[in-house]
Amino acid sequence: MNSEDKRLEQDLTGPETDLDQELDVDLMGVDPVYGDQDLEVDELPDHVKVFNRSKFSAQVDLSKFTLASAEDKEQHIQMRPPSTFLKDGMAKFRKNKLAMASAIILIFIIVMIIIAPLLVPYSYSDIVTVNGRRDKTAKNLPPFHYSELEQQAIEEGEKIFPHIFGTDELGRDYFIRVIYGTRVSIVVGSFASLIVLVIGLLYGSISGYFGGKVDLVMMRLVDIIYSLPDLLLVILLSVVLDQVLTKAITGTILKSVGTNMISLFIVFALLYWVSMARLVRGQILSVKQNEYVLAARSMGASSGRIIRKHILPNCMSVIIISTALQVPSAIFTESYLSFLGLGVQAPMPSLGSLANKGREAIQSYPHKLIFPSIMICLIVLSFNLFGDGLRDAFDPKLRK
């Protein structure tokens, strides 16, 4: 490098300084005394040394900075409180207004079907009576109306509970029948979803974990069941099972449940588990490739233990969401089967059978169709929105 090049470099960088010299600054000692004072470099104490910066140097002048105090650090530290998968999911679920509204409606309906039969002095099968006599004038009453005999009893000072939804064609209180119909629909939907969950979980777990020819054969059986017409088979099985079960349950405790109810559960167990089985199989096919499953297998864990302890717990969020979405489907299936006369047996009411009876008298007494129809819509819509909220909150694929 010639002398002109050296002179040009010196002009650009300033006088030659030891930029690699360490800064010997006792900031902890300076901060409480000098931290709040605007001091120049030459006013600092002797033990504080700074770089000899050039005017055009890009080196930061550290003498212009002081160490942050403990309060300043606490203001800038943002620590997230410890949480879990369940807490995070519930926090996100509570932000979903539609899901929360549907949960409140479902809780209200469940509380109502439990408490209402204890408060209302009528039975779903008993005809309205006044002073121990059958009231023949209490047929097809509008909501919150009394029959002639009831009005006479009220004038005499007797207290009579109002007919909130009126009465049906036989003089039975319609409100308590809708309440019992709602109870039947929710019980049938929940129990049918539980059956679907158990069968689909076992079938899909075996198929997805073992794979190969086992998976091939089991999934072809699922495809065959998928290809069958659901409605036709449901009606056919309900009719056939009704005749078979009538003799089988005679004299047993299942007689009080009724053949139609048992046949409904059998139909769900035979036909409606295939969607759950496919979902579980797909989840297990993705989870079983993880390292912890390989580690458990290398340590000698049995297949049942690996599925039970390592695979299914990592799939439970999706499985629970699918089960919640299966409930309204089961309720709707029970409703239209009862609407066709293949549901629960009389005099036990169902929302579907009540809607069918109301359809026959829709021009004269439209309220008999409106009340069970509104209840069906509320239950199905609430369960669907509730299941969608659970999916948005807990499904790992949809979480941000």
pLDDT, tens only, 295-306: 888 888 888 888
Cα(227)–Cα(134) distance, integer angstroms? 53
Cα(172)–Cα(123) distance, integer angstroms? 8
- Which is more confident, 382 or 399? 382
Residue type, 97: K
Q: What is the pLDDT of residue 30?
A: 45
Q: What is the pLDDT of residue 52?
A: 55
Residue pair 57/13 in contact (Cβ under 8 Å)? The answer is yes
Residues of the chain with CATH 1.10.3720.10: 90-125+172-394
pLDDT above 80: residue 28: no
Q: What is the pLDDT of residue 46?
A: 56
Determine the straight-line distance between the first and last CA of the chain, rounded to whole angstroms: 59
- Which is more confident, 260 or 50? 260
- Which is more confident, 205 or 233? 205
Residue pair 29/48 in contact (Cβ under 8 Å)? The answer is no
Cα(326)–Cα(334) distance, integer angstroms? 12
Beta bridge partners of 130: 133
Q: What is the DSSP string of 363-398?
A: TT-THHHHHHHHHHHHHHHHHHHHHHHHHHHH-TTT
Q: What is the pLDDT of residue 107?
A: 94
Mean pLDDT calculated for residue range 21-42? 46
pLDDT above 80: residue 351: yes
The answer to pTM > 0.85 is: no
- Rounded to the nearest integer, the mean pLDDT of the chain is 78
pLDDT above 60: residue 33: no
Condensed to tens digits (0 to 9), the pLDDT of residues 90-118 reads 888 888 899 999 999 999 999 999 999 99
Q: What is the pLDDT of residue 130?
A: 83
Mean pLDDT calculated for residue range 200-207? 90
Can you tell me which residue has the tokens 């509008």?
142
pLDDT above 60: residue 47: no
For residue 337, give the nearest of 187, 191, 185, 174 by alpha carbon. 185
pLDDT above 60: residue 49: no
Give CATH for domain 90-125+172-394. 1.10.3720.10
Q: Collapsing DSSP states into helix, strand and coil, what is residue 134?
A: strand
Q: What is the pLDDT of residue 109?
A: 93
Q: What is the DSSP string of 161-179?
A: ---TT-B-TTS-BHHHHHH
